[in-house]
Every structure is written in C-alpha cells, then in structure tokens.
Amino acid sequence: MTDTVRDSAGRSLGELAAVLQSGRLPPVHLWNPAHCGDSLMRIAADGTWFHEGSPIGRKELVRLFSTILRREPDGHHVLVTPAEKLDIQVDDAPFVAVEATSEGEGPGRRIIFRTNTDDLVAAGPDNILRIDTAADGTPRPYLHVRAGLQALVNRPVFYQLADLALAEAATPPGLWSDGAFFPFMPA
C-alpha cells in the first residue's frame, strides 16, 4: 500500500503513527498532591483556554497546560503537578478534534485525529469515537483522547467522516479504525 494520504502539515499516515508512538506525557496519573484550590482557568466549548476571564493567546502555553490536565474519578478536571492540584472548569470537552487523516477502507481503515493542542490520537479500541445527541437533536461526536479526557469532533471533521461512512455504505452507518467499528448512530 502506498503512503500517499497526508495531513495539513504534509505528514503521511506512517509519520503520524511514529509521532503517536513517541508521544510522551507527564505521568499525571501517578501524582497525588493535596488540592490547592481553583486555577481560575476555564476551557470553553470551542476549545479556547481562559485565565481569569481572558483568553490565553500563546498556543505553547495552552499545550503545556494540556499535558498536566487530568479527569478525576468524580468527572471534574484538574491541573496537576507533583506539588499541587488545581480545579479547572471545562464547559464541554477539554479538547477539540480539528483534523482527521484517514487511510484504507472498511476494517483496514485507520483514522488519526489532531486536536487543537496538537495531540495525535488514533481512533480504535482504546480511543473510542462516539456520537451523542445534543438537546436540540444534533449529533455531538466525541473522541476519547487519554485517561478519560475527551475531544469534541468539530463540524468540518465530522462531515468529512460522515462522507467516508456514506461512501462505505456500512449498515449501520459508521467507520472502522484500528480494527474497531464506530457506528454513527447516537448512543
């Protein structure tokens, strides 16, 4: 199979897979410091990070904070280091999937998503793609990123995936990635 599919940065699916394999994040699951209060930070539904009501404009700073983000067993989110744990408000999902690179068809397909913080996530058995339904009846697609953290799949990427699913004509409609099938019917 030729490696001709490229993401917006010109990386092939093979190059994206290599980045996935080398991705190293801080071991936040091992850190259990005392709760220190509120970070005064919020992640809006569109993925914008705020501190004390002002957007954080430096993408590198947002990326850094995203690496120490953790979802607690009760569902709330914290920023955690070995020395402190601070609450952070998350309006919907902490990440937004802004790009999808797909290669193959049917059970042989692989889809790698890029988030707004430049995390790369391959949909598969460990990173489930699910479709919820919003109060107004519209589909709300989410991708598991890591350790209970989710990404809302933005509308253009969802339309791209829907086009792929329609072309494959699976019953029920959906897509395969890394050996897992993800139906596009709301859960």
The alpha helices in 41-154, defined as continuous H runs, are 59-67
Contact 49, 43 (CB under 8 A): yes
User: What is the bridge-based pairing of β-strands 77-80 and 69-71?
Assistant: antiparallel
Residue 174, pLDDT > 90, answer yes
pLDDT of residue 185: 78
pLDDT for 25 equals: 84
Predicted local confidence at residue 2, as pLDDT: 45
pLDDT tens digit string along 6-62? 766 676 656 655 655 566 788 899 999 999 999 999 999 999 999 999 999 999 999
pLDDT reported for residue 21: 58
Q: What is the pTM of this model?
A: 0.85
Residues, the chain, total? 187
% pLDDT > 70, the chain:
87
pLDDT at 116: 97
Query: Averaged over 122-132, what is the pLDDT?
Result: 97
Mean pLDDT for the chain? 90
115-119, 124-128, 169-173, 179-183: least confident range: 169-173
Tens digit of each residue's pLDDT (9 = 90 or more) over 76-107 = 999 999 899 999 999 999 999 999 999 999 99
pLDDT given at position 12: 67
Tokens matching residue 103 = 């290669």
Does the pLDDT of residue 173 top 80, yes or no? yes
What's the rounded Cα separation, in Å, for the pair 110 and 60? 28
Distance in angstroms (rounded) separating the CA atoms of residues 49 and 43: 5
Rounded to the nearest 5 percent, the helix, strand and coil shares of the chain are 20, 40, 40
CA distances to 57, 69, 125 from 170, rounded to whole Å, are 42, 36, 19
Look at the block and give the residue holding tokens 């990326």: 63
What domains can be seen in the chain, in order of their start residue? 13-20+94-183 (2.30.270.10), 28-90 (3.10.540.10)
Q: Calculate what percentage of the chain has a pLDDT beyond 90.
A: 77
- Does residue 165 sit in helix, strand or coil? helix
